[in-house]
Amino acid sequence: MGGDHGPSVTLPACRSFLEKHPAAELVLVGTAAALAGAGAIPRTRSVVATEVVTMDDPLEVALRKKRDSSMRVAIAQLKADVAPAQAAVSAGNTGALMAVSRYVLKTFDGIDRPAIAALLPNAKGGFTKVLDLGANVDCTAEHLLQFAVMGSALVSALDGIAEPSVGLLNIGEEAIKGSETIKQAGDLLRRAAAGGHLNFHGNVEGNDIFKGTTDLVVCDGFVGNVMLKTSEGLAGMLTQMIKEEFTRTPLSKLAALVALPVLKRFKARVDHRRYSGGALLGLRGLVFKAHGSSDALAFECALERAYDAARNRLLDRVHDRIAQTLQAMPSGDAAAQEAA
């Protein structure tokens, strides 16, 4: 029901996803009217919700007043006594999704706040994982340390990298640069690296994300969301500029025809819709957030992310990594006292 387009996008995405994954099953959660209009979709079951969280609903409304919203009912499927789901996917209100997920599922011990993690293409032909991308506008140094631990578990689970490299997003590589929070986070991450708990590369800048300097980049949600939306806009503008240049003259049209296979690969590579589906890490359940403006392709890609995470036991791996790392490390306060 969520996002800018609702069932007109999510239902076609579900059909396409199921056609490509014959072993998968989906639970469709929505109003009775929306589910009735879905028609017969194989390997699905429907759960009716009487309310919908809108994109501009305040958190209080989503969390306290709309107790039978499709968002809340969908998340509750992860805890169902009979036939529980392995992951939930929504394109709805990000703040509401985070608040409701945290309320229904709770966080792992040692994690104060969940964070949204997503992947961005890099120049090495792979992907850089980045978190947080909008769940937490204000973060402490301790939160950034927790993000690094959760993100490392994500990279290990999905990419098979035992000790993924971690970068802290900053305005420069030098340890003396950045806000006090960033400096304190850098100290905590270096201590974690010294204790063998994390593979901390050091500070990185925005361009390092697309260079692939590190496997994982950690930042607060305000910076991460601005960076994400900027990169999406830049990719779209670049694609449009190339299209215009190759259609400007008859000669350029001929050049475009010759370069068509390369151009198609480039367009697919920078198409942000193909990277839709950010994981809400730190929760006791797998929840994935698709863009609110998702079309059918973007929402299908979000379903793909959730499916891969469930198959790769991401939840168990994040839990195990958190338990092994955070419990073995001194807290931020203890670290500060020891340093003093």
- For residue 338, the model assigns a pLDDT of 47
CA–CA gap between residue 122 and residue 258 (Å, rounded): 25
Same domain, 170 and 266: yes
**Confidence band of 82 (pLDDT split at 50, 70, 90):** confident
Tell whether the model's pLDDT for residue 340 goes beyond 70: no
Specify whether 29 is located in the same domain as 71.
yes
User: pLDDT per residue over 239-251, tens digit each?
Assistant: 777 777 777 788 7
Asked if the model's pLDDT at residue 71 lies above 80, the reply is yes
Residues 23 and 124 placed together within one structural domain of the fold:
no
Q: Write down which residue in 63, 87, 105 finishes a domain.
A: 105
Please indicate, yes or no, whether residues 243 and 114 belong to a single structural domain of this protein. Answer: yes
Domain C-terminal end among 52, 73, 105: 105
Indicate if 50 and 149 belong to the same structural domain.
no
For residues 165 and 232, state if they share a domain: yes
**Using CB atoms within 10 A of its CB, is residue 106 exposed (0-12), middle (13-18) or buried (19+)?**
middle
The angle that helices 180-194 and 141-159 make with each other, rounded to 10 degrees, is 50
The mean pLDDT value of the chain amounts to: 87
pLDDT mean over 58-82 = 93
- Residues 15, 140 share a domain: no
Domain that holds residue 196: 110-277+311-339
Q: Cis bond leading into 132, ω under 30°?
A: yes
Domain assignment present for 291? no
Read off the pLDDT of each residue in 109-116 and give the average, rounded to a whole number: 89
Share of the chain above pLDDT 90, in %: 57
Q: On the CB side of 186, how many CA atoms lie within 13 Å of its CA? A: 20
Same domain, 140 and 168: yes
pLDDT on residue 336: 43
Q: Clarify whether residues 157 and 188 are in a common domain.
A: yes
The per-residue pLDDT for 325 is 75
Spatial separation of the C-alpha atoms in residues 97 and 90, rounded to whole Å: 8
Residue 67 and residue 151 in one domain = no
Q: Which of 47, 81, 105 is the last residue of a domain?
A: 105
221 in the same domain as 190: yes
The per-residue pLDDT for 269 is 64
| pLDDT, average across residues 189-201 | 92
Query: Domain tally for the chain?
Result: 2
Domain for residue 298, yes or no? no
Give me the mean pLDDT over the 320-331 stretch: 72
Would 319 be classed as within a structural domain? yes
